[in-house]
Structure 1
């Protein structure tokens, strides 16, 4: 499903929204329509984070990530 990250240019609130077509999401904090799409950060593999296999903001496992990754693609770890 097309899940995107947005930032409200009015209040600065960052949020995720499921968006179809050319729909412009409304900020859930201040209800402004002035939002901008953010470039999503890549997910890093984090063993033992308590957040499942992937945690976008946690530190990578020792050694810089999953030892089973090929070509930097952590999707190959599973």
Structure 2
């Protein structure tokens, strides 16, 4: 059950929604089904020991983690 990002072609709102099976998502603002699915940045966190034993945190995607849009997040240690 993936979470997809959409842009509503009717009102312009961007949103994420969980898609179950073949269900058709609708805009939470205007309830339109005229949607464009957006490409999502894949985000992950990889922790490893670097030179001197310090922890290095690397992330992929446009944000620091998948649960927020910040590039510096105290809840997941990215930053």
The verdict on a shared fold, with TM-score over 0.5 as the criterion, is: yes
How many angstroms does 1:39 deviate by? 0.8
Q: Secondary structure at the match of 2:16?
A: strand
- Matching of residues 22-61 of structure 1 within 5 Å: 22-43=22-43, 45=59, 46=64, 48-53=72-77, 61=79
In structure 2, the residue matched to 1:11 is 11
The answer to whether the 8 A contact 1:6-1:14 is kept is yes
TM-score, normalising length from structure 2? Answer: 0.55
- Structure 1 segments, 4+ long, off by >6 Å, are none
Listed as ranges, the gaps of 5+ residues in structure 2 are 45-58, 65-70
TM-score (normalised: structure 1): 0.55
* Partner-residue secondary structure (3-state), 1:41: coil
How many residue pairs end up in the alignment?
A: 55
Deviation at 1:26, TM superposition (A): 0.7
Secondary structure of 2:5's partner?
strand
Structure (1 or 2) with the greater strand fraction = 2
The verdict on how the C-alpha distance between 1:31 and 1:48 changes in structure 2, with shifts beyond 3 A counting, is: closer
Aligned-pair CA distance for 1:53 = 4.2
